[in-house]
Amino acid sequence: MKRVTIIGAGWAGLSAAVHAVQAGWQVRLLEAAPQAGGRARRVVHQGLNLDNGQHILIGAYRDTLALMRTVGVETDAQLCRMPLTLRFPDGQGLRLPDWPAPLNVLAGIATARGWSWSDKGAFIRRALQWQTQRFECATHMTVEDLCAGLPQPVMDGMIEPLCVSALNLPSSQASAQVFLRVLQDALLGGSGSSDMLIPLCDLSALLPDAAVPWLRQHGAEVLTGQHVQDVKEHLSSPVILACPAWEAARLTQAIHPAWSAQAHALKHTAIATIYIQSNARLTWPHPVMALPSHAQAPAQFVFDKGRLSGEQNLLGVIAAVVSASGSDRDAITQAVLQQVRDQLHLPHAQSMLTVLEKRAAFACTPGLLRPPAIVTSQLLACGDYIDGPYPSTLEGAVISGKHAVNLLEAMYMRENTA
């Protein structure tokens, strides 16, 4: 019997567990928290099903969508699919039509509101240049370096919102190489790749609630509330670490100090989600809207939770997201509340709950060296922070879990054919 222990039941761990079961492994999945889901899970507040962070998926997240379908999630029913929209409250900004790529991108740029024809031409020329260069650049470049010379409306209306939402860093700090990979997959990845997929349910319902029963039905052992102190106790058979970088660093310190140090050295950035109750009916043209953001008005996006969920008790509830946020919960809450009141013309809106994930994403900076998936011959690791082409996203986590199982299978085959 092929046996594997997976430590951590976030989206990377769930992905690893499902793929391992499909490959014929007997899986034991251990999670320290009371529930699966990691940094993308349900939070219940005053009887409302909210999330510990608002997420947007995109059509290019093919492995995530495939994983959901495998465990029985009806993705068409649980995700609102809409063309990429970066429209601001005044109607300015970008919205791609529902056309095949790359015609949708060209049409979206041509009809972008608030951009002059000079602005549009400058971006199209730069995008063609990136395509000619196969979406590759020097590893030391930031997104700001990559986009030097682009008009300010293009930076404010497209580059900066995409950068901070995908890499959780401003363009002045984010890796241009990773940003280009995201653009390539989203804008040129085929039909629907650039579409925004916004959850209509809470994040636990989107994957963990279906994945855990599926695993148990297929013979896996899933245990929550299991905080592993010493990974060596489980190394009688292979182990996959699917816990956060800092936990993986702790568990590998005595086994592989260099790998542990590399994981420990990763810097992380925060994401705040501020839930706000509006006193007025929301009449936005789309359920998600970009906001002009700066230090005193830090939220980049707002979501109409009532419209998305269709639940009566969530009518008027707004989720405002601050990527690359600071760590002062009260200051963030007050700044975003005032921003919502001013920019959305909701003077009587009140804050409900602020969820601040202080280590929500690894800092995807230029030239970053991320830990490899192989720790030792018996020990692998997965997670969005593991070496790979993607930033800290759900897709990155899911792909990493799948990759760890592929490596596990390859190791097993070598051992049994030697």
Shared-domain flag, residues 15 and 106: no
Shared-domain flag, residues 253 and 278: no
Does residue 156 form part of some domain? Answer: yes
Domain final residue, candidates 194, 214, 238: 194
Model pLDDT for residues 271-291, shown as the tens digit of each residue: 999 999 998 889 999 999 999
Domain final residue, candidates 194, 216, 248: 194
Shared-domain flag, residues 141 and 240: no
Cβ 61 vs Cβ 197: under 8 Å: yes
Dihedral sign (CA 200, 201, 207, 213): negative
Shared-domain flag, residues 238 and 332: no
Shared-domain flag, residues 142 and 279: no
Tokens, residue 32: 């320290």
Model pLDDT for residues 29-82, shown as the tens digit of each residue: 999 999 999 999 999 999 999 999 999 999 999 999 999 999 999 999 999 999
Strands 3-7 vs 239-241: parallel, antiparallel or unpaired: parallel
Does residue 236 form part of some domain? Answer: yes
For 155-191, the DSSP string reads IIIIIHHHHHHHHSS-TTTSBHHHHHHHHHHHHHSST
Shared-domain flag, residues 109 and 253: no
Shared-domain flag, residues 176 and 135: yes
The CATH number linked to 347 is 3.90.660.10
Shared-domain flag, residues 247 and 375: yes
Shared-domain flag, residues 179 and 302: no
Does residue 48 form part of some domain? Answer: no
Question: What is the count of structural domains for the chain?
Answer: 3
Between 138 and 418, the more confident residue is 138
Instruction: Go through the chain and tell me how many residues it has.
Output: 418
Tokens, residue 103: 């015609």
Shared-domain flag, residues 181 and 165: yes
Task: Please tell me the predicted confidence (pLDDT) of residue 188.
Answer: 78
Shared-domain flag, residues 181 and 230: no
d(CA 405, CA 403): 5
Confidence tier at 100 by pLDDT (50, 70, 90)? confident
Q: Is the pLDDT of residue 124 over 90?
A: yes
The CATH number linked to 262 is 3.50.50.60
pTM for this prediction: 0.95
Q: Residue 329: which of 353, 349, 305 has the closest Cα? A: 353
Does residue 157 form part of some domain? Answer: yes
Burial class (CB in 10 A: 0-12, 13-18, 19+), 92: middle
Residue 402 one-letter amino acid: K
Shared-domain flag, residues 249 and 383: yes
Domain final residue, candidates 325, 343, 362: 362
CB environment 44-70: b (16+ within 10 A), e (fewer): eeeebbbbbbbbbbbbbbbbbbebbeb
Confidence tier at 226 by pLDDT (50, 70, 90)? very high
Mean pLDDT, the chain, rounded, equals: 95
Q: Is the pLDDT of residue 418 over 70?
A: no
Domain containing residue 19: 3-38+59-68+203-267+369-417
